[in-house]
Structure 1
């Protein structure tokens, strides 16, 4: 099989399209999350997604609609993390840990009640990008448009909060509202990204392209654009390599991401 033969398969084209859109979303949001030191929120929300999907499958939802059923719970969990950090005076990482452990415990309990882990639940845990349906591709495209428009409209506020939250607050920026928008968009992205790399690896898709671009970019907008480019490149390369070498797609995508990080780290050292 040659490289061009890949484009004859409809499921691969859907995987490439959905994976590229989700990688772009994760890269854009990841830059803001890394600078806000909220990068692990993706991991926490992924665990909540696990519990939500387990509940949807326990209630006999069809697999293709499990992501839709998980969205409300993950959105509430994202807001819950913010409220715990603000009202209960808990540090952000501790709030993420509380919500994350609750999501995992719920998922394990429901899986046990349902008679154990089934194939559908494992596909969400470890990713199955080649099984993305046209419906899920449509979901991803809609979310991509929503996130891009929101970031464009709130760009200056997001930029200010990313570097100095207190200064942004004293400048009249509605910090609480912008924080809520950021975590809600992240929650939606996490729900869709679980089919790309799996619940266990979502945080890497949020963190690695952002951290890689911040190693070598000389400006904030350049960092965002470079993160998008690296994220999309890693997904496309990961899917192609995994298909040709018969490897797990999600894990391959993350390893390509890590390789790009090592290259950028080496370039930064050489530049110094």
Structure 2
């Protein structure tokens, strides 16, 4: 059981996985409360364009993914606040536009390769020491940002109008939230994959909501469920030779279904 840790790449994968398991629900819970869950999928798909830029220019893809995702997050929030396009429509607009750019860049780069496949679906063997440093720095940024602005982010996510009446800088914290979501997506790309990261940000939170009532309690349980999903998923990925992203999300789904059954029987 523990021979898995004899491999350096698995040690890196588990370290990155634990960081991801903490950061994903920390941001995901605010998106769920705000009913803005689909933005995670949009930013994840758009980040593929950043990955494609990195692969095409032979530079570090995760930096480009972070830049493109963060810029898109700001664009979505700006368009939403302008009220020229409704929130869901602005998300769909950037989703389709970002995917179009990504597909075009991928075709210029002569299609799919093993590295790009790893970004899409997650690949534990591809986590490098550079990735680990980068993921660690971004995870620290997310956790510290939420820690120091927890009350403001909660107020904005729970009731934007009330927060504005209370004198909070709603626009600034809305933008902060979506940018942190973009960073969280970049953090998880290597392990979970671009196509599935949105699920890891949302499913553990939904599962935790079956058991708890308070916001902080839900956050704590969702982190535990996320950790279980990532650890079990990485084990399954290694021993069954399957994509890590799919294994992790399937574990999260299993926990969600178990939580709904337990909640109904209690």
TM-score between the two structures when normalised by the length of structure 2: 0.96
Give SS of 1:216's match. coil
Q: Name the structure 1 match of 2:240.
A: 245
Contact persistence 2:28–2:205 (CA under 8 A): yes
CA distance in 2, matches of 1:247, 1:68: 27
CA distance in structure 2 between the partners assigned to 1:78 and 1:194 by the alignment: 17
> Is it true that 1:226 corresponds to 2:221 in the alignment?
yes
User: Is the CA contact (8 Å cut-off) linking 2:52 and 2:105 kept in structure 1?
Assistant: yes
1:133-152 matches, within 5 Å, as 133-152=128-147
1:112 aligns with 2:110: no
The alignment's TM-score, normalised by the length of structure 1, stands at 0.94
Q: Give yes or no for the alignment of 1:101 onto 2:96.
A: yes
Quote the Cα distance in structure 1 between the aligned partners of 2:148 and 2:186. 23
Corresponding position of 2:31: 33
Q: Shift of the alpha carbon at 1:219?
A: 1.3
Deviation at 1:70, TM superposition (A): 2.4
Tell me by how many angstroms 1:247 deviates. Answer: 2.0
The RMSD of aligned alpha carbons is 1.2
Count, aligned residues: 266
| Counterpart mapping for 1:1-272 below 5 A | 3-61=1-59, 65-271=60-266
Structure 1 stretches lacking a partner, 5+ long: none
Secondary structure of the residue aligned to 1:200 is coil
- Measure, in 2, the Cα distance between the counterparts of 1:16 and 1:44: 26
| 1:19/1:129 contact within 8 Å kept | no
- Check whether the contact 2:34–2:157 (CA below 8 A) recurs between aligned residues: yes
Unaligned runs of 5+ in 2: none
